[in-house]
Amino acid sequence: MMQTVVSQIAVAFAAGMILNFMPCVLPVIPFKVQALLRETTGTTRSRALAAAALLAGSLAFFIFLGAVTAAFGLMWGQQFQHPWFRFLLSLFLLAAAIATFTGWSWRLPQFVYRVPMSHHLGAFFTGALAGVLSTPCSGPFLGSVLAFASTRSPQETMLIFSAIGMGLAFPYLLLLLWPGLLSRLSFSSRLAVNFKTFLGFVLLAGSLFFIQGFLPPLLWQAGWMTLVGAVGAWLVFLFTSGRRVKLRPVLILAMVIVVVAGFRSLSVDHDAESIAWQAYSDLRLEQAFGRPVLIEFTADWCINCQAMKRTTYKDNKLRATIETMGVITLQVDLTQVDEQRRAIFDRFGGRAIPYIVVLDKRGQHVQRYTGVVGADTLVDVLRSIDG
């Protein structure tokens, strides 16, 4: 049994590292980069303290989350179901974007700076924020890890969650502790300035994503198109300086065409080209006996879920397979988690979303997937039912 716990801790550590490449963590990358840049001229001791602070922030969040999960059995990423949490997070990312563009720095009350290691508070909060933002995006193995953690003692659960936090912070710890890599970065270089501008746009995108649920469709669509247009204009002026300035009118015209085409595509009904989901109910599941069933657990605040909606579920081969085989497609919306939906999620063994369950014609589990799943994978598992 001890070997099983150790292996799950190792998988949790690997899953934490994978989370660094998930879309949810993108908004926190500017904070991590700035934490790295601040240490480029620091001593080895200073970099080590910054690394310790970043790790401590990540561990503090995941240990807290592990303790709460062990005590109350919360769903992974459940804090995002609360509108006030998404609203405050959106405002925070917006403020961070403004600070990035203007060069304004965060100032805490003076007594904070008299606390030991106060210089590294930014690194600490960066590690914690990365943990907060990572929860809607689960890595490929995170579902099984969380399912295993839910069956263990509180101490083992907290060890597993701590391993996730350590994995999430690990790549940045290497950068902080590797002077040769950090010495290549500089606030004064043109590349760093341009990269900082790009990260400001990333923060704006994160803010817009979390606030869009509070806005009417036309307004958030206009917001995305404005953001895309601003990024396009910045790139045009960035790459047409000097002798290439004559290309600027052509590139601006091309950018306008792309933005207008994108706005028109956002204005149409995307669901018309996607899978026709039915709201899950036990009655519909019973009536589906004799036909394969595909059940999706999703939420508006889940970035990976939205990515699958625009990629996997629009695949022509997958939609044709579902139609040909007469697959019943049921959906459980976890944007707002109530007791009934949580009970359904638990009954099917879910721990993180996106979560997909495939049932055969007798209602038996064929396969379960946590995280982003490709259309070809779903096509293969569905066809295997008749195979």
If phi > 0 it is left, if psi is from -120 to 50 it is alpha, else beta; for residue 276 that is: beta
Domain positions in the chain are 2-81+101-187, 216-268, 273-386
pLDDT at 341 over 90: no
Report the alpha-carbon distance of residue 275 to residue 356 in Å, rounded: 14
* Average pLDDT for 21-37: 63
User: What is the reported pLDDT for 381?
Assistant: 92
pLDDT at 117 over 70: no
User: What is the reported pLDDT for 322?
Assistant: 92
User: What is the reported pLDDT for 139?
Assistant: 46
Alpha carbon distances (Å) from 371 to 19, 37, 359, 387: 11, 32, 18, 26
CB burial of 194-208 (b: ≥16 within 10 Å; e: otherwise) equals eebeebbbbbbbbbb
DSSP string for 159-209: HHHHHHHHHHHHHHHHHHH-HHHHTT--TTSHHHHHHHHHHHHHHHHHHHH
User: What is the reported pLDDT for 61?
Assistant: 84
User: What is the reported pLDDT for 151?
Assistant: 57
Among residues 313, 309, 332, 331, which one has the least CA distance to residue 322? Answer: 313
Residues 6+ apart with CB under 8 A from 329: 275, 276, 277, 278, 293, 294, 295, 296, 322
> Residue with structure tokens 């649920």?
213
* Average pLDDT for 352-365: 88
User: What is the reported pLDDT for 36?
Assistant: 62
* Average pLDDT for 192-217: 79
User: What is the reported pLDDT for 66?
Assistant: 74
Expressed in percent and rounded to 5, the helix, strand and coil fractions of the chain are 70, 5, 25
Q: How confident is the model at residue 50 (pLDDT cuts 50, 70, 90)?
A: confident
User: What is the reported pLDDT for 128?
Assistant: 81
pLDDT at 207 over 80: yes
Burial of residue 76 (CB within 10 Å: 0-12, 13-18, 19+) is: buried
136 neighbors 77 (Cβ within 8 angstroms): yes
DSSP string for 52-83: HHHHHHHHHHHHHHHHHHHHH-PPTTGGGGSH
User: What is the reported pLDDT for 331?
Assistant: 94
User: What is the reported pLDDT for 320?
Assistant: 92
Residue 200 tokens read as 């400001």
| DSSP state at residue 22 | S
Q: Which residue has the higher pLDDT, 137 or 103?
A: 103
- pLDDT tens column, 266-294: 555 455 567 889 999 999 999 999 999 99
Q: Which residue has the higher pLDDT, 334 or 270?
A: 334
Residues 6+ apart with CB under 8 A from 33: 195, 196, 199
77 neighbors 342 (Cβ within 8 angstroms): no
Q: How far, in whole angstroms, is CA 146 from its chain's centroid?
A: 17
Q: Which residue has the higher pLDDT, 344 or 138?
A: 344
User: What is the reported pLDDT for 113?
Assistant: 42
CB burial of 366-380 (b: ≥16 within 10 Å; e: otherwise) equals bbbbbbbbebeebbe
- pLDDT tens column, 1-16: 455 667 778 877 887 7
Among residues 148, 146, 161, 133, which one has the least CA distance to residue 23? Answer: 133
pTM for the model stands at 0.60
> Residue with structure tokens 């997070």?
89
- pLDDT tens column, 118-177: 556 777 877 787 777 776 655 444 555 665 565 567 777 778 888 888 888 887 777 777
Q: Which residue has the higher pLDDT, 45 or 329?
A: 329
Q: Which residue has the higher pLDDT, 226 or 236?
A: 226
Report the alpha-carbon distance of residue 341 to residue 297 in Å, rounded: 10
Report the alpha-carbon distance of residue 372 to residue 354 in Å, rounded: 7
Among residues 320, 303, 381, 368, which one has the least CA distance to residue 138? Answer: 303
307 neighbors 374 (Cβ within 8 angstroms): no
3-state DSSP of 273-337: HCCCCEECCHHHHHHCCCCCEEEEEECCCCHHHHHHHHCHHHCHHHHHHHHHHCCEEEEEECCCC
C-alpha torsion angle, residues 332, 338, 343, 344 (rounded to 10): -10
Secondary-structure class of domain 273-386 per CATH: alpha beta
pLDDT at 112 over 50: no
Of 223-227, 241-245, 330-334, 351-355, where does mean pLDDT reach its minimum?
A: 241-245
